[in-house]
Amino acid sequence: MPDVFKVGTVSVSRGEIQRGGIPIGADMYDRQRLIPIIVYHGMADGPVLWLNGATHGDEPEGPFSIFKALAQVDPQTLRGTIVAVPVMNVQAFTAGTRGDPLDTFAYDMNRLYPGKAEGYTTERVAFAHWQAMKDQCDLQIAIHSGGEHSYLAHMIFASDNPASLELAAAMGPNWSLVFRSGTGGGNPSSQIAALGKGGITVELGGNCRTLTRDFHTVADDLAAGYLNVMRHYGMIPGTATYAPAWRMGYQIALLSATTGMFVGVADIPFETLIPQGTLIGQIYNLYGDVAAELRAPRDGVIFGLRSRPSVLEGQWCCFFGVIEDTVTNLIPGR
């Protein structure tokens, strides 16, 4: 581990915190634009952990949970390094939209990694972030939520290599749903995993849970996960805790059969096994008739639900998880 850790505009010595950014070209006033970063460089050697928030600009859970987690870390006792990127896609976050509204050709930043130096606007942002991260990252957590139209419960998409599955398990007791995703795909977790390192995408929250106390609850929950990860890898003092077992499987996106108003069933349980055929929600027409129903296609768990009632035929209503396997062996030697 270097005595001075350098990333973007930041040079940080052992035991220090520095802030700065990853340069991404100029704005209309010819000022240097930056992806803001906060770097904690520990006194002792350890892994380099990247916390990546708000790839999608309508998902503020990333930045808020990162702020809460960093407030509990002392660089004097830290082993290793934390590179926090509260908001990766500043243009999208500024607009409060999933992607940069000025970039209609490369809208979804979570589909185009490792980016392109001479690509569309968002591809260049992804490229700059990837170049800054790829050679000095051991563990990467990308933080997502249901954003503007949905709510997502605790779910981890872990890239399918041992380092990523261990990282997923290290998120702690609230995170028992871990679904494998491919390596080498268009998102940063997948790209980091293709280098043999740990990369996960965690999902929790949505704009329906950003009001006062509820937003704190969601962000505290996420922050507790990152701190548990730091304990697991010996980065901060304390003992990590774990889910008793991990439920692994695959997701099915349940789409609306018609256009209208989607309303989920009252008290429908998240993350809990429900039988095939269970009523999940109803879509009303504008006369108050139930025009379509949404039911569980298999035995499985609901881990995401639409929170914006207006819906078009073919739009997303529910992320449904089918559990194929329950395992206890994601952490080597444990």
Decide if residue 144 touches Zn ion (CB under 5 A). Answer: yes
**Backbone dihedral angles phi then psi of residue 148, each to the nearest 5 degrees:** -75, -25
Cβ neighbours of 261 (radius 10 Å): 15
Decide if residue 149 touches Zn ion (CB under 5 A). Answer: no
* Residue whose CB is less far from Zn ion, 56 or 129: 56
State in angstroms the smallest separation of the CB of 12 from Zn ion: 28
State in angstroms the smallest separation of the CB of 277 from Zn ion: 30
Distance of CA 91 to the CA centre of its chain: 18
Please enumerate in sequence order all residues whose Cβ is within 8 A of that of 178, keeping only pairs 6 or more positions apart, or say none.
156, 158, 165, 168, 169, 246, 247, 248, 330
Amino acid at 9: T
* Residue whose CB is less far from Zn ion, 59 or 138: 59
Distance of CA 268 to the CA centre of its chain: 24
State in angstroms the smallest separation of the CB of 43 from Zn ion: 34
* Residue whose CB is less far from Zn ion, 35 or 292: 35
DSSP run (H or E) holding 163: helix 162-169
* Residue whose CB is less far from Zn ion, 56 or 149: 56
Residues in the interface with Zn ion (CB under 5 A) total: 3
In the numeric block, which tokens belong to residue 297?
Answer: 């296609």
Separation between Cα atoms, residue 162 and residue 311, nearest integer Å: 39
β-strands 79-85, 44-53: how paired? parallel
What mask, x for binding Zn ion by CB under 5 A, covers residues 259 to 298? ----------------------------------------
* Residue whose CB is less far from Zn ion, 10 or 106: 106
Residue nearest to Zn ion (CB): 144
State in angstroms the smallest separation of the CB of 93 from Zn ion: 12
Which residues 49-88 are close enough to bind Zn ion by CB under 5 A?
56, 59
Applying CB under 5 A, the residues found at the interface with Zn ion are: 56, 59, 144
